[in-house]
A and B are shown apart, each in its own frame.
Chain A
Amino acid sequence: EPEVTQTPSHQVTQMGQEVILRCVPISNHLYFYWYRQILGQKVEFLVSFYNNEISEKSEIFDDQFSVERPDGSNFTLKIRSTKLEDSAMYFCASSDLSSGGALPTDTQYFGPGTRLTVL
């Protein structure tokens, strides 16, 4: 069964360093997302991406964050200068369609996550 993959599973970095989190969405999916989950809290939306551009972003997704689809398979999240509060689990997700949830093909499938620890 196709699945979303993410690398690395765990990233430890020093405050102020740049990190790139990588994702390979399900191959025929067209919509890609990043979410984050601070330890013990709920999952929060960061950004959605379609047709090689950002569709929507949250207040969390400030100028320190960027996303890119460098080739036909990878989808990356870059944090330019990490802060302590960026420590969280970062999930990539993909879906076939995005029509407001009215169709089962709107279902977003999540990767296993990358646990980012900023020291």
Chain B
Amino acid sequence: AQKITQTQPGMFVQEKEAVTLDCTYDTSDPSYGLFWYKQPSSGEMIFLIYQGSYDQQNATEGRYSLNFQKARKSANLVISASQLGDSAMYFCAIFQGAQKLVFGQGTRLTINP
């Protein structure tokens, strides 16, 4: 079964600095997708970025990029030039089978002014 590990329960970063949120995964499937979601204090789950296992390049979406190291089974989220509005919980997730996402425990990111 697929598994996601996020080892950082909390991160504190100064505004405008870059931040890396760690995610490692475990799967025996050759074909899979990795996703990052942001959950602000209001509770909704906001999709940020996707990385497919066959993608040759790391995914980028605006200030978000994914540092995908397939051999190490890691898919770290990098947020450049952090903003106060980036303060939230961040979840890494992997597809299991064809139907469901399996989520990690999440990392609470706090951006300090």
* CA–CA, A113 and B96, complex, Å: 22
Contact A100 B31 (CB under 8 A): yes
Q: How far is the CB of B9 from chain A (nearest CB, A)?
A: 11
Question: Which residues of B have CB within 8 Å of A45?
Answer: 96, 100-102
Q: How far is the CB of B37 from chain A (nearest CB, A)?
A: 7
Contact B45 A110 (CB under 8 A): yes
Stretch at the interface among B12-20, B47-55, B64-72, B80-88: B47-55
Residue ranges of A at the interface with B (Cβ–Cβ < 8 Å) = 31, 33, 35, 41-45, 48, 55-56, 58, 89, 91, 93, 98-104, 106-113, 115
Q: How far is the CB of A34 from chain B (nearest CB, A)?
A: 10
Question: Which residues of A have CB within 8 Å of B106?
Answer: 42
Q: How far is the CB of A20 from chain B (nearest CB, A)?
A: 20
